[in-house]
Amino acid sequence: MRPEAAGREFLPERRFMEEALRLACEAAAAGEIPVGAVVVKDGAVIGRGRNRREAARSVLGHAELEAMEQAAEALGDWRLSGCTLYVTLEPCPMCAGAAVNARVERIVYGAEDEVMGACGTAVSVIRLPRAFRPALYKGLLAEECGALLRRFFAERRK
């Protein structure tokens, strides 16, 4: 992992991605695409989310948006400075854009999204030249996150 600007190294923590993975499993059990997310500040989870597009009948029902909304409520501020977003799947353009606009300091994701990944896999919303640029850490529990998605879609295609 790369060092932060302050000169100390940030090491993503498995326990937070494991919590996001648990939320993704809840989404799958509810018939939703299995994506889970948590927002962490100062070592504590301040926002949790899982996909709810089908249940909410909403285009905005993404795990990352739910987690960031909860975090903003917890902080009493839309700015999520100093926060880390852990998400099981690389954020889409909408969610990556929301993270950039909210000034999320770091994004940690598990599985890459070759179709809609907006952290560099398909496009790079987080590297726009004049926008805030969160630090990026990819591949934490990638196998577990990817396997959950593969199982979900294999079951759906039966």
Q: Which of 19, 32, 64, 90 is catalytic?
A: 64
Supply 8's token pair.
């100390």
End-to-end CA distance of the chain: 39
Torsions phi, psi for 120 (to 5 deg): 120, -20
Collapsed DSSP state (helix, strand, coil) of residue 39? strand
Supply 34's token pair.
């299995």
Nearest CA-CA partner of 111 in 84, 68, 147: 147
Would you call 54 a catalytic residue per the annotation? no
What CA–CA distances, in Å, run from 115 to 8, 30, 119, 127?
Answer: 34, 23, 12, 18
What CA–CA distances, in Å, run from 77 to 6, 40, 47, 71?
Answer: 24, 15, 13, 9
In whole angstroms, how large is the CA radius of gyration of the chain? 15
Q: Which residues participate in catalysis according to the annotation? A: 64
